[in-house]
Structure 1
Amino acid sequence: MGSSEDPNTSEFSASQPFLSKPSSSSSEVKEETESNQQYLQITYNSGPRSVKDLLFLILFLLFHISTFALGIFAIAHRNTNAHASSTYDPVTSSCVETHSTLSLYSSPHWVKPLTWTLLLTLLLSLPFSWALLLSLKHYTKHIVYASLPFFIFIPLFLNVYWFVACNLRSSCSHVFPLAFQILLLVFVFLLIGIVVWILIVNRHRLQLTVNIIKVASDALSHNLALFAVLPSMTLALLVYYVPLVVFLVFSKLNGKLVVKELEGDYACVWKEDLWVPFYFVLVILTMLWSAAATVEAQVYVISGTIANWYFSKDYQAPKRGIRTSLRNAFGPSSGTICLSGSLILVVRMVRCVVDSARQEDAPGIVNLVLRCCVNALLTTVDFLNKFTINFAAITGEAYCSSAKMTYELLRRNLLSAVFVETISSRLLAGIVFVLSAIYTIVVCAVLKAGINLGADSYFVAAMAWVLLLVVLGYLVHVLDNVIDTIYVCYAIDRDRGEVCKQDVHEVYVHLPRSRSLSQSVPTRTLGV
């Protein structure tokens, strides 16, 4: 939005899509009219939806049915002598069972303080998350600007404190030489300098980011039941993992003791059945696919719920948004979620392979070019998938249709999510880091003052920091998906020439246009 634009024109174009262009022939006008009619059909589908991507749902179910069937077989055909301690008997040329004694294990003295600290942190994380959400809704600007100095001061304090404390303790100085300490000190200072540079470069975008976070917090505050539904889905996944882990344990018991010659001596070794390694691969793939599908299902539920809130009238409270989203996620769109989860899983696995190849320093320009091409492809898939599942939750379309229509939707309206993705997400992550770091410092001070744990107090405080960071980070993850969903809803509004949420349009209208898309999209003018 340049300053040279007429205010009336800018305000009008903010709520209107680029739907028409100067007519040059009757065929082009007809084609444009048919295209516009197709564009206007994109909206939130609150009615019954048809089943999409059924093939991937069937494949997903086959994985699980095979896993459970072979797991039951592994339990039924396990070798009961698998845990017996055996030695080779030269008389009978076989393995003979022997008895072994179990050694008692005493837990370290920090286990009890750690348990109570983590339990207290988990209990406090719930009101912390609630207070943070309300603060971001009502006092967004104050929270953001108050947190900015801590982005610098906390890493600076921890860096200097660690350097001084390590030099004062002989045990630490012995483990970490002075040269390593100085190198780490300078490296952290460089990271702090980069953070300062990022804040300075993006200072003119800060107010827009504050408004975007405020809008997302307000939307999430109208759907607080998500904080009960989403963790329940994660808990259900963990409960589902229990029998899979049991199957893995019992599958290791399928085999037999065999005599093997090792360096001239005979010994008894356990030999698994041939199918056990393949079953391990099957179970691990099933668990990873289930985790990826659960994450995509959570994004689907968030997007469907927020879309229901967005497209409802301002004077009407949204009705059954979460219930409808859950029914669609585990009903008609379950195949779409399975497909999206499988793509995420494949991308992560390929990325791990590429990272492993990079660590091995494989020589040759061909390997370098291949890695660059693969990384570019994976980045493209991640970007397309980012908004595809949001669009599928809003419209109920299949995965491929959602990917194509989302790209066309953003391209027609010259929108780009790069700004929203990079600035708001990292700013929220910084706020969470500041709050969790302050809590960790308080916990460490209390442990040092009240409990004589010595250096173990740092470990206990660090575990509390990780737990609180995970919980608050989950809130940031939900807010990120809310921002993305509102972004897609806003694009649909622009495409239809409607304004469902005026306060959202007043914020998102200031998003920068995508220059790369503007070069590939024909110039459109507002039709009269």
Structure 2
Amino acid sequence: MANSTIDEPDKPLNPLLSTTYPSVSGATSDIQDDDDDDQQTQFLQISFNYGPRPYQDIIFVILFLVFVLSTFGFGIFSCVNRNPHHGQQASFSYNPTTASCIPEDPFFPINPTSLTSSLSTFWNTFIWTLVITLLLSVPFLLFLLFFLNNFTKQIVYVSLPFCVLVPILLNVYWFIACTVTSTCSDSFPLPYRILMLVFVFLIIGVLVWILVVNWHRVELTVKIIRVASNALSRNLSLIVVLPVLSLGLLVYYAPIVVFLVFAQLNGEIVPKDKDGHYYCVWKQDTWVPAYYTLAILTMLWSAAALVEAKVFVISGTIAQWYFSKDDDGLKRGIRNALRNAFGPSFGTICFSGLLISTIRVVRFMVDSAREEGATGIVNLILRCCVNTLLSAFDFLNKFTINFAAITGEAYCSSARMTYELLKRNLLSVVFVETVSARVLALIIFVFSTIYAIVVCVILKTVIDLGDDAYIVAVTAWLLLMVVFGYFVLVLDSVIDTVYVCYAIDRDRGEVCKQEVHEVYGHLPISRSDRSAFGIRTPLLV
């Protein structure tokens, strides 16, 4: 039941296309032609594809395999063809007879260095704190998911004040600590400390203003988070499978890193003339920079493809939960999603990863040009054009992989069909509920900060680590933020997937999950599309 704080509390929750409309053969025949009818009939069939799926975007699978095989092939060649004399050019001398560099001594003794080190108290504490934090992060995640699923409203309303109180306390604490400490007060004069104190309070004030302005949407945010948490709790295997995929990427990266190390050992020691005097220098093979470029591009593409594969697996698993009538298919849901991700739809994932990695490279180049101070009207126009194109891609790419995971369509058709699906149902293409991600980020910030404060107090009182306790506590805070950030990204993908599934329900005039319709039905609609919807003949009567 919708709460009174949400806009339009009396709005019916029936699907948009469930109302009665005039017959297609009647007055609406003058508005639409046969092609439009065929296109709309196609969209009526949107649902989760449980059957065998055709292989999509195969050309990008082939291109990706060419990159990977080339990277590994040339990498193995670099290991076999490496020059063991790399870095030993000082032991070579120029021979005028052969016009080449020859070793002065055929034997190159290796002076082993003894790596004797004893871990200090700081490093022992540092390592063990990180290990304990990493181990505790698993029950912390389950604990957070349990509370978000069962006590969403309470945990959100309790966390919101902490989002303001914690920065205020930290701001006051560092100001007092720096004032009473002679070394800090000498290096950081009082006027600068006051200026920094006021600046931080201004940032906190902006945060409070954002919360106050969006307060009317907090209850809707609570319900969206509860729905997503419930969906994720019904598919807990995702929390295990996704980190395993990340671990697989690290294993995949390991030989490439080794190849990059050995690639720089490919070359020869050659003579170089300087004012009539010859001396020996190291000359790298000309193909090595090209191999570095190939390997780095392969790594970027692989990382982007893995990110898209994770979104695909999340979407495929959650969609099966959404459209399932019972819990029988949930056990094999993630297995089906993995099989589709690395099988028929792997080309779609590679295509999306290629686009995303290209966008990142272009963004990096544009930002680098801006930092280097590139001026002129031409550079300004180019930057504006590039930023417009990047924004257009973000606009079209939203929900594309989610839709491809549900239907098994190719990337281009998924982008087009997703846009038209949401447009037909007056749903925003790029907006789900941005407050949800912000509230989740604030929650994990509060949890991580409280944990870091506890760690700091323990280290300063029990172990007496001194000021080094702050370094260890901040590192533990960063590690826990990374783990919780991964959890938020998963939950955000769940929210997007449920949104697409809800749109499919509206388009078909069905209600697979009543609790989802009761929540997502209050999301803002894309009012700019009302005119387009007004001339569309409903297909469900």
Q: Where on the TM-score scale, by shorter chain, does this alignment land: which range?
A: over 0.9
Contact 2:16 2:507 in 1 (8 A): no
CA distance in structure 1 between the partners assigned to 2:279 and 2:164 by the alignment: 61
Residue type at the aligned position of 1:61? L
For residues 454 and 99 of structure 1, do their structure 2 counterparts lie closer, same or farther at Cα, with a shift above 3 Å needed? farther
Look up the match of 2:62.
58
Q: Secondary structure at the match of 1:12?
A: coil
Q: Write the distance in 1 (CA, Å) between the matches of 2:160 and 2:332.
A: 38
User: Does the 8 A contact of 1:95 with 1:268 survive in 2?
Assistant: no
**Does 2:222 match 1:210?**
yes
Contact 2:398 2:430 (8 Å CA) reproduced: no
Change (3 A) 1:49 1:525: closer
Asked if residue 238 in structure 1 is aligned to residue 250 in structure 2, the reply is yes
- Shift of the 302–183 alpha-carbon distance from structure 1 to 2, 3 Å rule, reads same
Picking from 294, 299, 304, the partner of 2:316 is 304
Residue 448 (structure 1) aligned with residue 460 (structure 2): yes
Name the CA shift for 1:106/1:268 in 2 (closer, same or farther; >3 Å). farther
Q: Percent same amino acid at aligned positions?
A: 59
CA deviations on 1:382-425 (whole Å, 9 max, x unpaired) are 23223000000000000000000000011111111655342101
> In 2, are the aligned partners of 1:117 and 1:460 still within 8 Å (CA)?
yes
Aligned pairs for 1:287-436 within 5 A: 287-314=299-326, 316=328, 318-416=330-428, 419-436=431-448
List per-residue Cα deviations over 1:193-222 (Å, max 9, x = no partner).
111111011101110010000000000011
Q: Distance in 1 between matches of 2:212 and 2:269?
A: 67
2:481 corresponds to 1:469? yes
Aligned residue for 1:86, secondary structure, equals helix
**Secondary structure at the counterpart of residue 322 of structure 1:** helix
Tell me, in whole angstroms, the C-alpha distance in 2 between the residues paired with 1:85 and 1:146.
66
- TM-score, normalised to structure 1, is 0.92
Q: Which residue of 2 aligns with 1:28?
A: 31
The answer as to 2:289 corresponding to 1:285 is no
Paired residue total: 527
CA contact (8 A) 2:268 2:283 kept: yes
- Whether the 8 Å CA contact 1:86–1:96 is kept in 2: the answer is no
Query: CA offsets, 1:37-57, max 9 Å, x none?
Result: 222111110110000000000
Structure 1 gap ranges (5+) = none
Deviations along 1:227-273, one digit per CA (max 9) or x if unpaired, are: 11111110011001111111111111111123445799765432211
2:333 and 2:311 map into 1 onto residues whose CA distance is 14
1:11 lines up with 2:23 in the alignment: no
RMSD: 2.8
Q: Distance in 2 between matches of 1:426 and 1:485?
A: 18
Task: Report the Cα distance in structure 2 between the residues aligned to 1:206 and 1:4, rounded to whole angstroms.
Answer: 12
Shift of 1:353: 1.1
Report what 1:248 is aligned to.
260
1:457 Cα deviation from its structure 2 partner: 1.4
Kept after mapping to 1: 8 A contact 2:511/2:517: yes
| Per-residue deviation, residues 478-508 of structure 1 (Å, max 9, x unmatched) | 0000000000000000000000000100110
Alignment of 1:485-500 (within 5 A): 485-500=497-512
The change in CA–CA distance for 1:315 and 1:393 in structure 2 (over 3 A counts) is closer
Label 1:20 to 1:114 Cα distance change in 2 as closer, same or farther (>3 A): farther
The answer as to whether partners of 1:85 and 1:100 remain within 8 angstroms in 2 is no
> Does the 8 Å contact 1:18/1:412 carry over to 2?
no
Long gaps (5+) in structure 2: none
| Distance in structure 1 (CA, Å) of the matches to 2:22 and 2:208 | 44
Instruction: Kindly provide the amino acid, as one letter, of the partner of residue 10 in structure 1.
Output: P
Question: Matches of 1:159 and 1:491 in 2, distance apart?
Answer: 45
SS at match of 1:401: helix
The one-letter code matched in structure 1 to 2:125 is P
| Closer/same/farther in 2, CA of residues 13 and 325 from structure 1, 3 Å limit | closer
Counterpart of 1:47 in structure 2 is 51
Describe the superposition over 1:64-100 as per-residue Cα deviations: whole angstroms up to 9, x where unpaired: 1101110111111111222547345478775546657
SS of the counterpart of 1:10? coil
Match of 1:37 among 35, 41, 64: 41
Conservation of the 8 A alpha-carbon contact between 2:89 and 2:281: no
The verdict on how the C-alpha distance between 1:266 and 1:139 changes in structure 2, with shifts beyond 3 A counting, is: farther
Q: CA deviation at 1:117?
A: 0.5
Are the equivalent residues in 1 in contact too, given 2:89–2:282 (CA < 8 A)? no
Q: Does 1:273 align with 2:285?
A: yes
Distance in 2 (alpha carbons) for counterparts of 1:60 and 1:208: 42
8 Å CA contact retained: 2:264, 2:288: yes
> Does the Cα contact within 8 Å between 2:81 and 2:266 map onto a contact in 1?
yes
2-structure distance, mates of 1:490, 1:497: 10
1:77 matched residue in structure 2: 81
State the 1:134 CA deviation: 0.6
Between the aligned partners of 2:76 and 2:376, the Cα distance in structure 1 is: 49
- Cα deviation for residue 525 of structure 1 reads 7.4
Secondary structure at the aligned position of 2:432 is classed as helix
| TM, length-normalised to structure 2 | 0.90
The question of whether the paired residues in 1 share the 8 Å contact of 2:423 and 2:429 is answered with: no
Opposite residue 26 of structure 1, the aligned amino acid is S
SS in 2 for 1:420: coil
Moved more, 106-115 or 273-282: 106-115
CA deviation vs aligned residue, 1:295-329 (integer Å, no higher than 9, x gap): 10010000000000000014755241101010100
2:44 alignment partner AA: L
1:96 to 1:518, Cα distance in 2 relative to 1, 3 A: farther
Whole-Å separation in 2 of the counterparts to 1:228 and 1:510: 33
